[in-house]
Amino acid sequence: MALSMAAKASDFSEPWKSADRALVVDAYEYNSIDWARLATDKRIVAFINKASDGMPPPYFCFGSDTDVKLCKALWKRHAVTRELFQTRRVVAKALGMKWGAYHLARPGNPVEQANNFLDFADPAPDDLMALDIEGNDPSQWMSLDDAEEFARQVHRRVGRFPVLYTNGKTAQYIADNRYKYRLLSRLPLWYARYKPDIDVHFPMGNWQGYALWQFSAQANCGRFRCPYRVAGTPDNIDVNVAPTNAVTLRQQWPFGGLIDVPPDYLASVPVPLSREAALAGKATIIYADVATPPTFEEMAAVLGSRWSKFRDGFRMPVVKTVPRRPGFGIVQYVAWKRAGQRSPEQLDAAFAAAADPVSTASTTLDRGQR
């Protein structure tokens, strides 16, 4: 199922100030939640909770006493985190909220990390799944190539794709290299950007809009100033806005498909605007339909074919009709060409005459012709 994520201009400039826009809270295990107070904010449609983080801790603990204690502490944290995750899911759904889970991606093992995420989150058919790529540094976070494999593994197991959560810089890199990251650039985008306006910053490409925009977090929310405060949550809670109202967001949830691919803007031709429309203010630029740019594989195949023809042009032609005779050299070849379509006896006579190093073009065969 393909999704259309086309956005309007109002979606890029403080959309949370519109009372009809749906909001989503996302949290991790150390965010305290007062569910009774949270439920009083009717704009909160969904709750997304952190699930897994990289790989699970080792099942067996070995090594020194310090290593064993650390291993047991990690397992205790893992067990408590999962229990809290399950409890929050039950409470959120009981309050009528949509539920989602995200995986904090670490370097390496994309298939194993995907399995860990699915085993931890145990997503229901209507639960959102998200892959959290915090940056484009493979030494700290999962590489983009591995992220594509993570998404494929999720799809193999549950038949749906995850949403991609990432920041503006990484999203822009993926959008600029969408022909390389064909899967990542088509995952619904959960966009993290803590600015009131993102019109000029949004990573246009396959993405024409966002599924969710994380606009409020610890980076821009404190005791005295915050874009939006959610009752029953700490100041540093993450708050997200959808480009739709609550009814539409519930219908689109959990974004399990891929977004539609728009025409390539680099290869498209913009339709001219009228002077009146341009002077009226911000206008939408429309691009004429053009042929889809060739893929790298297609270009390589064409170049390979043309190179073969170019190379073959420098090769000596192979004469397949030359008789195969022992000692057949250039002298015999000239005699054979002069002989034309003659009988084998005439060819033998021509070859015999040509074999004489003293004989020239005035051979007996030629005199007979005269």
Looking at the fold, whether 257 and 284 belong to one and the same domain comes out as no
Tokens 């002069």 appear where?
Answer: 338
Q: What is the pTM of this model?
A: 0.71
H or E segment and range at residue 95: none
Structural domain includes residue 320: no
Sequential pLDDT tens for the chain (370 residues) = 455 566 677 899 999 999 999 999 999 999 999 999 999 999 999 999 999 999 998 878 888 989 888 888 888 889 999 999 999 999 999 999 999 999 999 999 999 999 999 999 999 999 999 999 999 999 999 999 999 999 999 999 999 999 999 999 999 999 999 989 999 999 999 999 999 999 889 999 899 999 999 999 999 998 889 999 999 999 889 999 999 999 999 999 999 999 987 655 545 556 677 777 767 766 666 656 555 566 667 777 878 887 777 777 666 555 545 555 566 666 666 666 666 655 666 656 655 655 554 444 444 444 455 4
Cα–Cα distance between 95 and 35 in angstroms, integer? 9
- Is there a domain that residue 336 lies in? yes
CA trace torsion 93, 95, 101, 102 (10° rounding): 180
* C-alpha–C-alpha distance, residues 132 and 104, integer Å: 5
Question: Count of alpha carbons within 13 Å of 39, Cβ hemisphere only?
Answer: 10
Whether 24 contacts 212, CB under 8 Å:
yes
57 and 194 assigned to the same domain: yes
One domain for residues 204 and 172: yes
Residue 46 lies in a domain: yes
Burial of 163 (0-12, 13-18, 19+ CB in 10 A): buried
Q: Give the integer Cα–Cα distance in Å for 242 and 16.
A: 8
Q: Is residue 324 part of a domain?
A: no
Q: Is 110 in a helix, a strand, or coil? A: helix
Do 229 and 119 fall within a single domain?
A: yes
Q: Say whether both 185 and 232 belong to one domain.
A: yes
CA dist., res. 101 & res. 132, Å (int): 10
Which segments of the chain does DSSP mark as H helices, in order? 35-38, 65-94, 110-121, 144-158, 168-176, 246-252, 275-279, 296-312, 330-339, 344-355, 364-369
HSE value, Cβ hemisphere, 13 Å, CA-based, for 186: 20
What is the number of structural domains in the chain? Answer: 3
Are 156 and 305 members of one domain? Answer: no
Residue 117 domain boundaries: 2-262
Count CB atoms within 10 A of the CB of residue 116. Answer: 18
> Would residue 321 count as lying in a domain?
no
* HSE-up of residue 366 (Cα within 13 Å, Cβ side): 13
SS3 for 328-347, per residue? CCHHHHHHHHHHCCCCHHHH
Nearest of 162, 189, 171, 32 to residue 101 by alpha carbon:
162
Tell me how crowded residue 345 is: count the other CB atoms within 10 A of its CB.
Answer: 8
Domain shared by 109 and 238, yes or no? yes
Helices (H) then strands (E): counts for the chain:
11, 12
Peptide bond into 254 cis (omega under 30): yes
